[in-house]
Amino acid sequence: MIISASYKTDIPAFYTPWFINRMKAGFCKMVNPYNLQAYKISLKPEDVQAYVFWSRNYHHFLDQNVLDQLGRPFVCHMTVLNYPRHLDQSVIPADKAIGQMKEIARTFDKRAVVWRYDPIVMSDETDADWHLQNFRQLATELTGVVDEVIVSFVQFYRKTQRNFAAQGVLAQDPSVFEKQDLIKKLHGIAQGCGMELTICAQPELLCDPIQPSACIDVVRLESLSKAPLMVKRKSHRAECGCASSKDIGDYNTCPHGCLYCYAVEQRDLAKERYLHHDPEGEFLFITKEEVEEISSQPTLL
């Protein structure tokens, strides 16, 4: 089993104490949002083959030596965009994020960290020329640090449109041709900096020689573990190339406040849930309604 922590929230940035406590306990609990059934996910070493982390800030993980204590291969996805502040309201500066990536690569392995330049937000302020210049600057800083950069374009969900409108951001949705043109140029920059550019879950944008990404990448994990992983290739989305995993995060719990985030309905809700989070709890977060429903169930798996 591969543990994903987490594409739903930022566990390394905000929930490191909870993660450490659950590792010690050997399990965590989740609630199925569709039927409100609670279930347990084992975090015991004999049940976990690898970890995949997703974050904007690994400071707490590095400061508390979390990665050293895993005892299993891992990959750290690090999103570094260097966007204007109104798009990324509270993430750490790009230079600090890159510093953390360098530390992970130096301490563990270059293949243990992957750069994410996604989602790409097109606007009057962040047009194609802006992205080319911005990407080149970041890629240059990450030369020799990573061997892959994953990109995708922002998805215009209703909550995303609402968040953009609230901040007066006139985000654009270019044509497939325009997106492919930008991706090809970014790919050229990436190759010049010794890294491969791949596309996350947007197959309509694939164009030779650019390949789809596998964010939960068995090949990468096996290269780190020096042994095969016995996992199924079963992703959480049809267009996704990831291997099967168990995600231990929860939606609406990341208070970063990124306007384009698909995992948060409202930033105030995420901030409130973060403030009421119990680092000693078995669940990352559980609502009063979920507690009541689970309490009425005859057994808890």
96: closest CA among 19, 13, 14? 13
198: closest CA among 189, 225, 187? 187
Please give the Cα distance from 105 to 120 (Å, whole number).
Answer: 25
Residues 6 or more apart whose CB falls under 8 angstroms from that of 215 comprise: 7, 52, 77, 114, 150, 200, 240, 241, 242
Start-end of H helices in 120-201:
128-141, 158-166, 176-192
Given this model, what pLDDT does residue 284 score? Answer: 97
- The DSSP letter of residue 147 is S
Residues 6 or more apart whose CB falls under 8 angstroms from that of 33 comprise: none
Sign of CA dihedral 215, 230, 235, 294: negative
Please give the Cα distance from 221 to 216 (Å, whole number).
Answer: 8
Given this model, what pLDDT does residue 176 score? Answer: 97
Given this model, what pLDDT does residue 35 score? Answer: 84
- Cβ count within 10 A of residue 235: 17
Q: What is the pLDDT along the chain (301 residues), one digit of tens a residue?
A: 999 999 999 999 999 999 999 999 999 999 987 788 899 999 999 999 999 999 999 999 999 999 999 999 999 999 999 999 999 989 999 999 999 999 999 999 999 999 999 999 999 999 999 999 999 999 999 999 999 999 999 999 998 999 999 899 999 999 999 999 999 999 999 999 999 999 999 999 999 999 999 999 999 999 999 889 988 766 555 567 889 999 999 999 999 999 999 999 988 999 999 999 999 999 999 987 777 777 777 654 4
Give the DSSP H or E segment for 274.
helix 267-275
What residue segments make up the domains of the chain, in order of their start? 2-295
89: closest CA among 252, 260, 238? 260
Please give the Cα distance from 11 to 217 (Å, whole number).
Answer: 19
Residue 78 near residue 56 (C-beta atoms within 8 A): yes
Please give the Cα distance from 159 to 261 (Å, whole number).
Answer: 9
154: closest CA among 173, 176, 130? 173
Please give the Cα distance from 42 to 22 (Å, whole number).
Answer: 9
- DSSP secondary structure string for all residues of 83-136: --TTTSSSPPPHHHHHHHHHHHHHHT-GGGEEEEEEEE-EESSS-HHHHHHHHH
Please give the Cα distance from 8 to 253 (Å, whole number).
Answer: 8
